[in-house]
Amino acid sequence: MARFGSRSQTERRDGASEACAGRRQFLTRLAAAATAPAALAGTAAQAAPAPKSGPAAAPAKPAADAKTSGGPLPTIQLGSCRITRLVAGANPLSGYSYQGPHTDRAMKEYFTLERRVEFLQQCELAGITAHQFSTDKDAEYLQVARQRGVKMHFFGLHSDRTTLKEVAKTLHPIGMVHHGGATDRAFAQGKAQDVHDFVKAAHDAGLLAGVSAHNPDCIKRISEEGWEVDFFMTCFYFLTRDLVPGAEEKVPPDPTLQISYAFYKDDPLAMTEVIRRVKQPCLAFKILAGGRACRNDRRIREAFKNAFSWIKPSDGVIVGMFPRYSDEIQFNVQATRDYGKVLPA
C-alpha cells in the first residue's frame, strides 16, 4: 500500500499521505531493481501498458463501485463541506515515497497525468470525496479531473500567502494549508507570525485556512493562542526534530526504522494527545509510518484501527495510495468503514 516518497529538503517532508510501495510484492520488485535498474522498467512495462495520452483518453474503471457495494464512508465536517474521514493523499502521485530513490522513481513513472486523473476517478467511485494535493505548481491533473466530471473536494499545501488568491481562482480548492515543514521551521526560527499571517490571507482569499505540522508543540501553541484556524493536518511522526534544539536527545537511541527519515514508535501517541485536545478537525497523515507499517494486510488494518481510535470523531486521515499491484483504494475504503464509524453520542 503506497505511502509517500522521500524528499531531500525539510520542506518536502509533509504531504498528506503515506506510501507503502505496493507492500511485499512491490518491495520484492524493488530489491531486484536496486541491483538491476533496467529490471524496474521491464516490470513496469509488463505490469501495466502505457496509458493513452491526451485529455480525451478514456479512464480505466475499478472492478467495483464502493458507493453501491459497501455503503457510504463515514464523514466529518470541514467548514461548510462534508467530506469522508478518508482523504486521498498526494505524495505518491508526485513520486514522494519516503522509501528511497527507487520507489520514488517507480511512482513518478507510474503516475502519468492520465493515471493521476484515473486515480481520482477511482477514488470518487469508491466513495472518497476529498483529495489533498501537494502544490499548486503540480496541479494540472486537478484541472483535467474537473473537466472529466470529478467532483471531489480539493485542498492543498502552500506557504506563500501572497499567491493564495491566485491559487483560489485557478484551482478552486475548499481550503489551503500552511506546509508542515515550513510551519515547523517558522516556529523554530521565532517566525510563527508568518504562519498566522498565512491563515489570515487564506480567509481573505475566501478559503478555509489550515495549518500542517510534524511537531505537536506547534499545533498545541496555535490552539492555546486561539488562532482562527479551520482545521489542522497533523503528522503522526515528528520528522523535523532536527529543527528543535535538544529534541533528538529526548528520544530512544534507535528509531523504529530509518530510511531517509527516523520514525519513532511513540510519536503517534504524542501527536494524538494534542489532536484530542484541540477543538478544530484534524486530518492525521503518515498513519502508516511512510510505509513502515505495511508489512502485511493485518498490520495495515491495525494501523487504521489505531489511528481512528486515537483521534476525535470529528477528525479524519489522509492516506497516499499506489494502486499498481493491488487495489489499495478499496482496501483503505474498507478499513475506514470498519474502523472509522462515528457512533452516536
pLDDT in tens, 280-301: 999 999 999 988 888 899 999 9
**Closest by Cα among 181, 43, 14 to 102:** 43
| Element housing 158 (H / E) | strand 153-158
Integer Rg of the chain from CA: 19
- Does residue 195 form part of some domain? yes
**Are 219 and 234 within 8 A, CB to CB?**
yes
End-to-end CA distance of the chain: 33
Please give the pLDDT value at position 203. 98
- Does residue 38 form part of some domain? no
Query: What is the C-alpha to C-alpha distance for residues 125 and 329, in angstroms, rounded to an integer?
Result: 10
Query: What is the C-alpha to C-alpha distance for residues 158 and 135, in angstroms, rounded to an integer?
Result: 6
Please give the pLDDT value at position 250. 65
The parent domain of residue 133 ranges over 10-32+82-339
| Element housing 319 (H / E) | strand 316-319
Please give the pLDDT value at position 210. 98
For cell 497523515, what's the residue?
Answer: 285
Query: What is the C-alpha to C-alpha distance for residues 61 and 125, in angstroms, rounded to an integer?
Result: 9
- Does residue 279 form part of some domain? yes
Query: What is the C-alpha to C-alpha distance for residues 3 and 128, in angstroms, rounded to an integer?
Result: 17
172 grid coordinates: 478552486
Query: What is the C-alpha to C-alpha distance for residues 54 and 46, in angstroms, rounded to an integer?
Result: 22
pLDDT tens for 194-225 read 999 999 999 999 999 999 999 999 999 999 99
Count how many domains the chain has.
1
**Are 105 and 160 within 8 A, CB to CB?**
no
- Does residue 41 form part of some domain? no
Phi, then psi, of 77 in degrees rounded to 5: -100, 130
Please give the pLDDT value at position 5. 37
| Residues of the chain predicted below pLDDT 70 | 1-69, 245-260, 345
- Does residue 2 form part of some domain? no
- Does residue 182 form part of some domain? yes
Which residues lie across from 315 on neighbouring strands? none
For cell 472529466, what's the residue?
Answer: 148
* Alpha carbon separation from 133 to 57, 95, 157, 274 (Å, rounded): 23, 13, 7, 24
- Does residue 20 form part of some domain? yes
For cell 497533523, what's the residue?
Answer: 234
CATH code (residue 267)? 3.20.20.70
**Closest by Cα among 11, 18, 46 to 103:** 18
Half-sphere CA count of 337, side-chain side, radius 13 A: 16
Query: What is the C-alpha to C-alpha distance for residues 111 and 204, in angstroms, rounded to an integer?
Result: 34
pTM: 0.79
* β strands within 206-271, DSSP E: 208-213, 231-235, 257-259, 261-263
- Does residue 51 form part of some domain? no
123 grid coordinates: 477514488
